[in-house]
Structure 1
């Protein structure tokens, strides 16, 4: 009597690899879309934070109309990391409003 070897056949392994590759093809585009969406939401949140701090600065310093990141950082309205991150995300303060180049 011959021993029967236990294991998977080449056809079974090929089918499993095919199914895994199909799942990857379905999941990866969705992950990329979610990453882009999260980045966009984060950008809007940063603009809101900067605008809130600009507004608070102007309320606390009446008569000042030139607000920039240096003033916000010096007066502790933003941390240095927040100011750096906002500038990296191309958020500018124009006419006392936080604006971004991106749409």
Structure 2
């Protein structure tokens, strides 16, 4: 089974890492066993989130979690833009 790295953690798992660490004082190994991620990934994520929130307050940490977790580089053309619509139109036209 492949374990998730820090950059691959979905939002519910990221929220649970914060919850398990703050509310239940779980170790990184316990968190990794519960959630199927590597212990260093959980620790790295938590530490980055704590640094971003600049506190260990549960609500503050949860408020800085990014609901849209981006993987890879940002697109060259913004989704929904006029350029995006033009590219889509050209692709659809090309496929017919």
The normalised TM-score by structure 2 is: 0.27
Ranked by relative contact order (alpha carbons within 8 Å, sequence separation 6 or more), the top structure is 2
More strand per residue: 1
Q: Which has the larger radius of gyration?
A: 1
The normalised TM-score by structure 1 is: 0.26
